[in-house]
Amino acid sequence: MPRVKRGSKRIQRRKKILGLAKGYRLTKSKLHRSAKESVDRALQFAYRDRRTKKRDFRSLFIIRLGAAARLNNISYSRFISGLKKAGIALDRRILAEIAIKDPETFTMLTESAKAALAAA
């Protein structure tokens, strides 16, 4: 079997790893082996945290909605239940945005949720 030295492909691969490690400190940005370990670890965190970010933001939206709903004398769970019964299909991100930027509209939403709960 002939010997393969890989030449330019090897250099390209190493350059790619060192490019991803740009900004790391000490040998982690200079030496291929250290850089590869650090980049692999960073990519694992990035993959995991792309999923975790969705959870974190959803919980943030729920906290904001709960606080805004309390200001309008209704609990978060009754507010969401009332919106579903009223047929208002807005997701939590949009509702949280409305609660922060436009409190009057949010008050109208809570009133319609209360009305739907009272009617049911």
Domain residue spans in the chain?
7-119
- Give me the CATH code for the 7-119 domain, please: 1.10.1900.20
In percent, the amount of the chain with pLDDT more than 90 equals 92
Residue 101 has pLDDT above 90, yes or no: yes
The reported pLDDT for the residue numbered 120 is 73
Average pLDDT over residues 48-77: 97
Residues 58/72, Cβ–Cβ less than 8 Å:
no
- Read off the pTM: 0.79
What single DSSP character describes residue 73? T
**CA angle centred on 46, ends 43 and 52, rounded to 5°:** 150
